[in-house]
Amino acid sequence: MTRSRDVLGLAAWLLASLAAGGIGSRFMPDAWYASLAKPSWTPPDAVFAPVWTALYVLMGVAAWTIWRRAGFRGSPVGLPLFAAQLALNALWPYLFFGLHRPGLAYLEILILWAVILGVTAIFWRESRAAGSLMLPYLAWVGFASCLNLAIWRLNPPAA
């Protein structure tokens, strides 16, 4: 693999991962979210952007690590599943913040977490480094799932 292909590949995987965040960031906390009851362990809003940025970078590097070894043919399940989790990741803010549907968002984030787990397991088998890079993301989405559930339970839909 040439150095320029390597660098371009890394840039492409980082861009793809950060693009999912960019799409999701179109739906941000608003007055509706501010009015919701939240558990005491909800992080301050200012925490989310830097954490997510770091996670998108880690995800991009993980996918690049897998792609770099043998391209798309080298990971015929892992890389497409990675792309699917990016799409699911971009969908969650729309469901939660855009549609104001925490129950639907909770169901979606459970699917997202399961897909991330699958990607992490596949990446781990192909490269322990890539699998390790996915672990913070898996943990954060697990935490976000708990937070989503708590908010949904604290704010039952109006009858």
Taking only the tens place, the pLDDT of each residue in 40-79 is 999 999 999 999 999 999 999 999 999 999 889 989 999 9
Letter string b/e over residues 122-134, b meaning 16 or more CB atoms within 10 A of that residue's CB: bbbebbeebbebb
| pLDDT band (50, 70, 90) for residue 2 | confident
Evaluate if residue 159 carries a pLDDT over 80: no
CATH number, domain 3-154? 1.20.1260.100
Delimit the domains of the chain by residue range: 3-154
* Residue of 60, 51, 57, 77 lying closest to 141 (CA atoms): 51
For residues 29-43, average pLDDT: 97
